[in-house]
Every structure is written in structure tokens, then in C-alpha cells.
Amino acid sequence: MKKYGKYVKKYWYSFLLGPLFMVLEACGEFILPYINANIINKGAANGDVGYIIENGIYMALLAIAMMITGILGANFSIRGSSRLAAGVRADVFRQIQKFSFANIDEFTTGSLITRITNDITQIQNFAQTLLRGMFRSPIMLVGALIMSFVLDPSLAVIILIIMPLLAVAIAIIIKTASPRYGKMQKAIDGLNNGVNETITNHRVIKSFVREEYEIAKFARINDDLVNKSTAALKVMLFMQPVSALAVNITTLAVVWFAGKPIMIGNLEIGTLTAFITYLSQVLTALNFLANIILQGARAAASDQRIGEVLGAKLDLTDQNAAHPEQTVQHGEIELRGVDFRYFKHNRDKVLNEISVHIAPGQLVGIIGSTGSGKTTLISLIPRLYDADAGQVLIDGIDVRDYSLKNLRDGIAVVLQKNTLFSGTVAENLRWGNEQATDEQVVAAAKIAQADGFIRELPNGYDSELERGGANLSGGQKQRLCIARALLKNPKILILDDSTSAVDTATDASIRAAFREQLQGVTKLIIAQRITSVADADQIIVLDAGRIVGVGNHAELMQTCPTYREIYDSQKDREVTE
């Protein structure tokens, strides 16, 4: 509840004025039927037109006052609840920014989207209902009960009999609905995950002509949501008919028992009319209270889900860093007995007892079949994930002892899945370093072998990239991403399969430029092609999460069967190509 408290405090006037105006409006509700009864009993019965007009004016004024206080009450309730929701939303967003990849993997993207949108909306709706009804409904309930006793105690007993019955029915409905809300929110997670995946990957889907498959897949997720939400909401819909039945039965009973007293003149018509109005007020108030509880049950499910995000253990923080001021100086890398799993409940390790030493300035190749753990291995260096066991050291210092900022400032990673942003080529390159001069931008592009094609673009470095570079070829995009990484001026440069779409000759030129101009930078190159790593100082061969060979090309050809296998398979292919 602490997460809401600070916003209640901050917007206290809305949280105070909302309920206050609603209570004022409720006071009008008590007085109105009373005046009405007087008009009928005293005015109409005696034919006193003056009395009728006078009291009619009171009623009209009261109705206007009630409308104004009602609008003000609703207005402050909406304001307060929206501000509250916005505040919590910002908090959740801030927390997600602190998340590690592992945190996001655990929640899934779709679920985080549901939590920050739909779940917070549930809280907002509940807060709004609460502000409108939390004082108004109990006051109406008690007030209308008192008024009905004042009017006719013996008839009022009927209300007291029906009320507990209705309360029990409502309790049953709420108890049934509550657990279904959690399931419904989970189904919304599924929906968001599905949409997210499809839209993010729409190019792939189109190129494989998998639209129909995706539509069918979506239909299943959609059906699931229909089932879960129907299950939850239909229980809620029982409320309306059940309370209508209660109102009708009570009215019937009141009229039944009022018949005789009216005939013998013990009860006036106006009193009976007022009584029936109070009766329906009691039941309406009860209904509204039930609604608060029902929405509360739904909000509770959402509250828990929001709490999970806000309370998530940030598994990647630098709060305990021993050397927060330390920056990466040389780019020496050492892994000592590193084990890693993506999900801690999985039995199989993705990386197994990885130990390797890379000297500053070396060019190191990493090779291995798909899924052998190459990307995972390099992810541990800038702490995109943390090792489960063992240590990752840079310049002899555990990566966990650097501040995340200093660590990641010293390391540039060109990820397998690259993203360019809308904007010019130069703007994209300056993502690596906003202060880079034009000369630095060009120099980086030259090393990445991108300068040539950039100059051939209509406006050179000032050419606009359409939709994240859709107007460039895959190889061109890869080279821009390399140039962008170089502009960070890192001590360690990691390329994860970043030249896969670049032709072999250009690929070789990039490495030659690395050797000449990036001597002080440790370079890790993950590649599919053996030619991309054959000239490296050191090659690491991975197989099923283990290192099965370390050495240069000649040594590995002698000692590492896996390396030979890869070499042979690619040699054959090159011959046939």
C-alpha cells in the first residue's frame, strides 16, 4: 500500500474533496423524499397550492445543488485516481528501466506491458469507485435506514430481513469472482506477448508467408482471453439481477404490509412513497458497497502483479560494487570456472565451467554451432547477465565490482539483433558518442568499411534512414552498427556475428583495419565462417556450452576435432558454391 500512499499524500485535496462532495450529495438524497412526502401528505391532501409550490422550489434548488456537488465529487475522484495511476505507472516504468535481461525474461515483455497498462487501470478504476462511494454509500445506507425507521418502524423491519440475505448473495458472488480475475489478467499477458512478438517480427513472418499461422495462433490466445474473462465477468453480472430481485421483493412486501394501514388511515400515501424511495436507497447503497468490494477484488489481483514488478529483486545492480570509480583501463578479460543458466530452475547449464584468458589488445575469434553458447558467453562480459558460478574479470577486477556505467562505457557490443533508429546516418553513429566530431565519425565509418557506401547515399552522412534502416542492405546496416560501436571508443569491442551479411573480402578488410587501428582494443569476434576467425590471435571453440578448444588456427587444426569438423564442412561448401 506504500506505493499508493505517497500519491494520496501528494494529491490529498482530490482524495479529500472527492469523497466530501459525494457525501454532500448523499445528504440531498435523504432530504428529497422527505419534502416529497410532505408535498403529498400536507400539500396535495389539503389542496394547499402555496405549500406545494414553496416545497417544489426547495426540491428544485436541492436537486441543482445535488447535481453540482455530484459533478464536483466525480471530478475530484477522477482527478485523484488518474494522478494516482500515473504516479504508480511512472514508478513501474522506472523500475523496468533498472531490470536486467534476466528480470525481463522472467516476467516476459507482454506481461510487463499488461502490468503497466491494464493492471494499473484496474487500480485506477477501483480508486475512483472508492473515492465516490467509500463514505457516501455507508452514510446513505445508514441514513436511509434511519429515515425509514423514522417513517414507519414496523415496515422498516422488512428491510432488515432482506438486507442480510442480499449481503450473503453478494458475498458468494465476490468469492467466486476473485480467483478468476487473476486468471483473466494472465490471459491478457498472453495476448500482449502474442501481439508483441508478431509485430516485432512482422518482416520475418511476411518473408516466410506465415500470416495464416500467426492468425490461427492469435485466435487461440484470443479465445483463451474470451473464456477467462467471460468466466470472471459473468459472475459479476449476477449482481445486477440479484439486487434488482431484492429491491422488487422488498417493495412487494412493503406494499403488501402497507395495504391495511393505508386503508384504515394509519399510513399516508406520501409516507409510503418516501418509504419506498428510502428502501431503494438502502439497497442501492448496499449494491454500490458490493461493487467497491468487487472492484477491490479485481484490483487486488492487479495490485499483486504490480507489487511483483516493484518488488522484483534486481538481480543486476552495482550497489555492492567494491570499486565504483574504477574504469576499464586495459581490456584484459578472464573467465574463471563460469557456469550459467537462463532460468535458475533449469537443470541443464547453458555455459559449463568456462575458463579462458584474453590479453589486452588481442583479436579473439569465437566459433561454435548455433546454440553452443557464444552469445551467452559474451553477454556476461558487459553484465547483460551475471554468471551463476565462477567469475568474470576485466583487468583483474570482478565485473560486479565496477559500476555498471563504467563497465559498459568500456565495452562496446554489436549484438546479433541490431537496431538502427530513425534519423540520419550521422545521428545514428553518434549514438555511440554524442560529442564525436565529424572527423571521428568518418574515421569510425572507415574502419567499419562503411564510409564508401555512406558517401554514395543521396546525402552522404546526412541521409535519412527510413524506418530503422529499411533502405539499407543487411551488410550495410551491420557496418553502421560496427561504426556506431567504435565511436564509443571502447577498450573491449565485441562483435556477435556482426559481419554475417558482409561479403568475405569486406569482412577481411574490417579485421585488417581493426588490427592496424585498434591495437589497444581487445576485440572479440563471434563468427559462423571460419575465414572470419582464422587469422585471430586466439580462437575459442564452443560446443554445447563447453570450451572444447583454445588456440590459433594452426593449433586447433591439430588438436581440436570440433574445429576441424567446422573447417571441413565449410571447405566443402565453398568448393560447391
Nearer to ligand ADP (CB atom), residue 375 or residue 522 = 375
Q: Give min distance, CB of 352 to ligand ADP, in A.
A: 11
d(CA 477, CA 496): 14
Say which residues have a Cβ less than 8 Å from residue 370's Cβ, sequence separation at least 6.
none
| DSSP tag of 502 | S
3-state DSSP call for residue 541?
strand
Which amino acid belongs to residue 354? I
Write out the residues near ligand ADP by the rule CB under 6 A: 105, 342, 350, 368, 370-376
Q: In Å, how far are 323, 380, 398, 440, 525 from 395, measured between CA atoms?
A: 12, 15, 8, 27, 19
C-alpha cell at 529: 565462417
Site pattern 324..363 for Mg ion (x: CB under 5 A): ----------------------------------------
Which parts of 374-393 interact with Mg ion (CB under 5 A)? Answer: 375
Nearer to Mg ion (CB atom), residue 69 or residue 375 = 375
| Residue 489 contacts residue 469 (beta carbons within 8 Å) | no
Q: Give min distance, CB of 208 to ligand ADP, in A.
A: 20
d(CA 176, CA 293): 13
Nearer to ligand ADP (CB atom), residue 313 or residue 344 = 344
Nearer to Mg ion (CB atom), residue 368 or residue 475 = 368
Nearer to ligand ADP (CB atom), residue 75 or residue 416 = 416
Nearer to ligand ADP (CB atom), residue 201 or residue 273 = 201
| Residue 296 contacts residue 131 (beta carbons within 8 Å) | no
The one of Mg ion, ligand ADP, none whose footprint includes residue 370, by CB under 5 to 8 A per kind, is ligand ADP
Q: Which helix (H) or strand (E) holds 41?
A: none
3-state DSSP call for residue 355?
strand
Q: Give min distance, CB of 346 to ligand ADP, in A.
A: 8
Q: Give min distance, CB of 350 to ligand ADP, in A.
A: 4
| Residue 10 contacts residue 87 (beta carbons within 8 Å) | yes
Q: Which helix (H) or strand (E) holds 356?
A: strand 351-358
The one of Mg ion, ligand ADP, none whose footprint includes residue 373, by CB under 5 to 8 A per kind, is ligand ADP
Q: Give min distance, CB of 421 to Mg ion, in A.
A: 23
The one of ligand ADP, Mg ion, none whose footprint includes residue 503, by CB under 5 to 8 A per kind, is none
| DSSP tag of 348 | S
Residue nearest to Mg ion (CB): 375
Sheet hosting strand 411-414, strand order edge to edge: 411-414, 492-496, 522-526, 363-368, 538-543, 546-551
| Residue 330 contacts residue 410 (beta carbons within 8 Å) | no
Nearer to ligand ADP (CB atom), residue 302 or residue 376 = 376
Nearer to ligand ADP (CB atom), residue 246 or residue 492 = 492
Question: Is residue 562 close enough to count as binding Mg ion by CB under 5 A?
Answer: no
The one of ligand ADP, Mg ion, none whose footprint includes residue 337, by CB under 5 to 8 A per kind, is none
Nearer to ligand ADP (CB atom), residue 368 or residue 410 = 368
Question: Is residue 128 close enough to count as binding Mg ion by CB under 5 A?
Answer: no
Q: Give min distance, CB of 310 to Mg ion, in A.
A: 32
CB atoms within 10 A of CB 26: 25
Q: Give min distance, CB of 382 to ligand ADP, in A.
A: 15
The one of ligand ADP, Mg ion, none whose footprint includes residue 147, by CB under 5 to 8 A per kind, is none
The one of ligand ADP, Mg ion, none whose footprint includes residue 223, by CB under 5 to 8 A per kind, is none
| DSSP tag of 16 | H
Beta bridge partners of 394: 333, 397
C-alpha cell at 103: 528480470
Q: Which helix (H) or strand (E) holds 128?
A: helix 120-133
Segment interacting with Mg ion (CB under 5 A) among 181-189, 235-243, 367-375, 564-572: 367-375
Q: Give min distance, CB of 250 to ligand ADP, in A.
A: 60
Nearer to ligand ADP (CB atom), residue 101 or residue 257 = 101
Say which residues have a Cβ less than 8 Å from residue 172's Cβ, sequence separation at least 6.
none
Say which residues have a Cβ less than 8 Å from residue 47's Cβ, sequence separation at least 6.
none
3-state DSSP call for residue 567?
helix
Q: Give min distance, CB of 230 to Mg ion, in A.
A: 42
Which parts of 539-558 interact with Mg ion (CB under 5 A)? Answer: none
Which amino acid belongs to residue 362? Q
The one of Mg ion, ligand ADP, none whose footprint includes residue 475, by CB under 5 to 8 A per kind, is none
Residues constituting the chain: 577
Q: Give min distance, CB of 130 to ligand ADP, in A.
A: 40
The one of Mg ion, ligand ADP, none whose footprint includes residue 105, by CB under 5 to 8 A per kind, is ligand ADP
User: Rule CB under 5 A: which residues touch Mg ion?
Assistant: 375
